[in-house]
Amino acid sequence: MATLHFPHFPITDRPVDYPDSVVLEQRYPSVDAGDIEKDTFTITIQDDFPFLTSNNSGMKRVFRTNMQIESSGKSVAVVCKLAMGRTHFVSLDKEAQKYEKNLKDLQGTVIPHIYGFFTGKSFDGITGVLVMEDCGEPLRFDSGDPKELQQGLVDAMVALHQRGGAVYTRGGLLSKNHVLARRSLDGKLRVTIISFRDTSIDHPCKFKGKLILGEPTPEWEELCEELDYIIRNAHYYTMAEPPYTLLQS
């Protein structure tokens, strides 16, 4: 089983007498990821912690860093969601279970690859860290056809409904914080959906087909409420106000 080692824990307001270094144990194993195997290994989170979001109440953080895998020497860019205290821990644990149990076969495609969920104790009690693939920085999309992004978003949502059974609160997906896009070296644009804390799972979506922008939309009774909402609002994703992230990789 893997361990996650912080040489310097990314909380600056911890008690002065609390150890600087923290080690957490893997609670949920991730899917296979290159050199990472199911055997014992240590992941070291390096010391650069630019926070993406921060909530001092209950010690909730999301930060970007590099992860050093000691068994292979490989360094991987990751995003970590940190929760301290029982309330935030329970919420993050539920999200981690959705990634691991319900959405596992979508990891690395329309959702980020998850390297693992690690738990233990820190100065504020029970602590959890969800380590996931870094899908990029928020940048303007200043070239290309916005329809490529819009179709990618629709395809991603259909995959979540048909293969993962995940349902968002209506309209919540249009938040720019939930949709990322990454263009690979071969020019393909990958749309990634993140943040599953408030989603419901095991949605028996009645739509079994494929949605193509620009073609006639299926009748509303053929779609579930959320897919109907997404297909009718995909045009909000434009180059003028791009609610997504673009990373050249």
18 φ/ψ angles, rounded to the nearest 5 degrees: -90, 140
Which one-letter amino acid corresponds to residue 68? Q
Please state, rounded to an integer, the average pLDDT across all residues of the chain: 76
The token pair that represents 110 in the structure block? 């329309």
Residue 241 — pLDDT band, cuts 50, 70, 90?
A: very low
Within its chain, how far is the Cα of 184 from the centroid?
Answer: 18
More confident residue, 116 or 234: 116
- 90 pLDDT more than 90: yes
Q: pTM of the full predicted structure?
A: 0.81
Structural domains of the chain, ranges and CATH numbers in brackets: 3-133 (3.30.200.20), 146-248 (no CATH)
Listed ranges 2-11, 28-37, 62-71, 103-112; the one with the highest mean pLDDT? 103-112
Task: Supply the DSSP string of 32-71, one letter for each residue.
Answer: PBTTB-SS--EEEE-S---EEEEETTTTEEEEEEEEEETT
More confident residue, 172 or 18: 18
Residue 181 — pLDDT band, cuts 50, 70, 90?
A: confident
The residues near 120 (Cβ < 8 Å, ≥ 6 apart) are 22, 23, 24, 25, 126, 127
Rounded-to-integer distance, Cα 117 and Cα 103, Å: 14
For residue 173, the 8-state DSSP code is G
Q: Given this model, what pLDDT does residue 92 score?
A: 93
- 231 pLDDT more than 80: yes
- 44 pLDDT more than 50: yes
Question: Mean pLDDT throughout 67-93?
Answer: 87
pLDDT digits (tens, 9 = 90+) for 2-39: 888 877 776 656 666 666 678 888 887 644 444 444 55
